[in-house]
Chain A
Amino acid sequence: MELTDLLELHDVGLSRGGQRILAQVNLKVKRGEIVAIIGPTGSGKTSMLRIADLLDQPDKGRVIYDQLDVSRDQRARLAARRRMSMVFQRPAMFNSSVGYNVAYGLKLRGARGADLEERVDEALRSVGLSGYQRRSISGLSGGEVQRVALARSLAVRPELLILDEATANLDPSTVSAIEGLIQASRERGATVLMATHDLLQSRRLADRVAVMMAGTLVQVGRPDEVFSQTACQPVASFVQGEEFMRLVGDRA
C-alpha cells in the first residue's frame, strides 16, 4: 500500500532582514517514516524545521499537513500544530517542576486528573526519569533537561515528531537512549523529521536523508544512495568532511 504524505513543503522560501534563509525547499514526508535533514551549520535546517512545526510562516511557498494547506490559516495551523511536537536543540524549560513541563502540552489538549498524571508518568518512564515529577528543572543536568524535553514532546503522542539536533552535546549512553526512543515512537506509528549533524546517526535511524546546503535541499534519498552517490561536489565535501571529523574524534 502506498504511504500517504503527512507533511509537504512546496517551494518554501524564507528571508530575514533582507537575507535569504531558505529558497525553493521541496520535501514530502510520508506517514511513519524517519527523515533526517543533514547539512552544515547555518544551512537553514532549523529554519526549515520551524516552518514544518508551524512556528514560523514561510514568505513563499506552501505547507501542507495531512492534505490540508496550513500555510496561512491560523485556525488550521493551531489544529495541525496540536498533532505534532518539536524538541529544540537547546530546549527552553518552564521555570517550574519537571511534572509541570511534561504536563504542559497535555493540559492544552484537555488532559486532566488521573489521565494527565498517568500520561506524565508514562512519558517520564519512557525517558528513564521515573519519579522526577516534583523535581525542579533548575537542578537537572543538560542530559536530563534534554530527556525531559523529549518526554514533554512524546507525552502528547505526536503524529509528527520534529527533532532539532536532539542528541547534540550529549554523552553516548544518552544518545543511544534517545535514538531508542525515536525508533520506539516510529514503531508506535509516529512520523519523525529530524535535523542532525551526526551522519552515522542519520544512517542508523533514517529511511531517507535530505541534504541542505545554503538554504536549499540539494539531495534527498535513501541514506546509502546519498552517502555513496553524492549529487554534487559540495555534498561530497560535506559528507567526507563530517566522516573525517568523526574518525578523528573516535581516535582522539
Chain B
Amino acid sequence: MDEITSGFIKAIELIATLNPEVVEITIRSLGIALASTVLASALTIPLGSLIHFHSFPGKRAAINVIQTLYSLPTVTVGLLVFLMISRAGPLGHFGLLFTPWGIIIGQTILRVPIMTGLTISALSGVGSDIRDTAISLGATGAQAMWTIIREARAAVVAALLLGFGRAISEVGVAMMIGGNIRGYTRVLTTAIALETNMGNLELSMALGIILISISLVVNLVMNRVQGRWWS
C-alpha cells in the first residue's frame, strides 16, 4: 500500500515538474491521436454521408458489416497493417513500420468502422422534415445534405471525440506497428505497459494519470458540445 501511495506522490511530482520524458510522450500521444482522428474524419464523414444519403442494393448489409467491425480486435488490425507495411509487404517501400505514421495509419483503420457507423447514426437522427424544409426553401440536393450534416453536428463531433478518445487509449496497434521505440514511437499506453513490466511504477502512474485526465477532458468537451448544440 505504501508503495502505491509513495508511487502516486512521485507520479504527481513528475507531472508537476514537467519531467521531460513525461512531456515528450504525452505530446507525441496527443499528436498521433489527433492526426489519426483528423485522417479518420476525412474518410468517415464523407463515407457515412454517402451511405446515409444514397439508396443502393445491400445498404442494410453494409451498415451491419460496419457495425460488426466496431469490435475489430486492435491486435488483428495491428497484424494486418504490419503485414501491409513490413519490408516484404505491398507498402513496404514506404518504410512506415516502426514510425509514428505507421501508428497513425493503423489507428485510422481501427477508427473507420465506428466513426462511419456513428456518422450514419448521427445523420439518421435528423428527421426527413428537415430535408423537406431545406428543399422547399430552395436548397439543391447537395445544399440540403450539407444542412442535414450541420443539423447533426453535435452527434458528428461526439463521434470524432469518441474516435480521439479511443485512439489515445489504444495499445495493440501502437505496440505492434510503432514498436515502442524510446523518443520516437513511444506513446502513453505503450510506455505504461513497458514501465509497469520494468517495475518503474512512478512513471507508469504519472502517465496513467495523464491518460485518464485526457479522457476526462475529452468527455467534458463532448458534454459541453452536446449541451450547447442540443439544448
Contact = CB atoms under 8 A, between A and B. Distances in A.
Interface stretch (A87-95, A223-231, A238-246): A87-95
A136 B138 contact: no
Interface string A124-141: 000000000000101000
Contacts of B231: 136, 138
Interface stretch (A9-17, A62-70, A78-86, A186-194): A78-86
Nearest to B136: A86
B151 A94 contact: yes
B147 interface: yes
Nearest to A138: B231
Contacts of B138: 78, 81-82, 85, 105, 108-109, 156
A94 B130 CA distance: 7
A108 B129 contact: no
A153 B143 CA distance: 18
Given A92-B127, A92-B129, A81 B135 contact: yes
A85 B132 contact: no
A200 interface: no
A197 to B, nearest CB: 20
Contacts of A81: 135-136, 138
For this complex, into which size category does the number of interface residues on chain B fall? 10 to 19
Q: Looking at chain B's contact residues, is the secondary structure mostly helix, strand, loop, or mixed?
A: helix
A26 B140 CA distance: 28
A160 to B, nearest CB: 12
A136 B227 CA distance: 13
Interface in A31-81: 50, 53, 55, 78, 81
A152 interface: yes
B147 to A, nearest CB: 7
A110 B227 CA distance: 32
Contacts of A50: 132
Interface in B127-170: 127, 129-130, 132-140, 143, 147, 150-151
Contact of B147 (A53, A94, A156): A94
B133 A85 contact: no
B229 A88 contact: no
B20 to A, nearest CB: 46
A105 B137 contact: yes
Contacts of B127: 92
Contacts of A105: 137-138
A156 B150 CA distance: 22
Nearest to A152: B137
B151 A95 contact: yes
Task: Specify which of B136, B143, B147 lies most central, judged by the most chain A CB atoms within 10 Å of its CB.
Answer: B136
A53 B136 contact: yes
Nearest to B129: A92
Interface in B73-103: none
A104 to B, nearest CB: 6
B137 A104 contact: yes
Contacts of B147: 94, 104
A78 B150 CA distance: 22
Contacts of A55: 132, 135-136
A178 B138 CA distance: 23
A156 B137 CA distance: 9
A143 to B, nearest CB: 19
B134 A104 contact: yes
A49 to B, nearest CB: 10
6 contacts: A88-B136, A95-B229, A108-B138, A108-B139, A136-B231, A156-B137
6 smallest CB-CB distances across A and B, nearest first, come from: A92-B129, A105-B137, A82-B138, A108-B138, A92-B133, A86-B136
